[in-house]
Chains A and B, each alone.
Chain A
């Protein structure tokens, strides 16, 4: 089970954003972060907890291992309004997603 928090964030552009994801048991670094904008498919932003994806802005980063993980947007931009999901790929089946964090721009 993946427990993601918070469920909702309202943040001013330029501020730092932090989202956490906790696994019910150790998953190593098999933790991924996705961004989903309305009426779009999710987009992979971070793989293996902290590895960046080609083409993804450097303001997005991830950290953690085992059971506790963090996703950070270093300086929020208006285009970052979306829902963010964590996903574990170690203890499967099933592959499981966090409940999501809806990020609103103030």
Chain B
């Protein structure tokens, strides 16, 4: 069974780049069976899909965030990562990594990222 774990700074300054990593265990990140994604949830609010990546490196992003988002895979470490540039307070949220093409079967526990000076 897949297990996912997010890691990264819990505090990011406005205008800087948010960087998170998701470490996958129980399966190979380079398997053609899997898609990998990032979803976020501002405090007290609903879920927002950020983007997803296939093992081949093909990516698709939420148009509302596309200009600021990069998702990539590191097969040597069995990890995938999220970079979100030019952050503002509106990017404060719990960030989840998850597995799935059009639905998400496995989720990490989530990590809170606060954008503040």
Contacts and interface: CB of A to CB of B under 8 A. Distances in A.
Main SS of chain B's interface residues? loop
A76 B61 CA distance: 37
B103 A32 contact: yes
Given A93-B62, A97-B49, A41 B96 contact: yes
A100 B102 CA distance: 18
B49 A94 contact: yes
A41 B62 contact: no
B26 interface: no
A48 to B, nearest CB: 8
Given A93-B63, A94-B62, A95-B102, A42 B107 contact: yes
B48 interface: yes
B105 A44 contact: yes
Nearest to A97: B47
Contact of B109 (A41, A47, A89, A90): A41
B101 interface: yes
Contacts of A40: 109
Contacts, number: 56
A42 B97 CA distance: 11
Contacts of B46: 85, 97-100
A5 B35 CA distance: 30
Contact of B47 (A42, A44, A47, A93): A42
A3 B103 CA distance: 18
A87 interface: yes
Interface string B33-59: 000010000000011110110000000
A96 interface: yes
Given A85-B46, A95-B49, A44 B60 contact: no
21 contacts: A30-B103, A34-B104, A41-B107, A41-B110, A42-B47, A44-B103, A44-B104, A44-B105, A47-B103, A87-B104, A92-B60, A92-B102, A93-B61, A94-B49, A95-B49, A95-B62, A95-B102, A97-B47, A97-B49, A98-B46, A100-B47
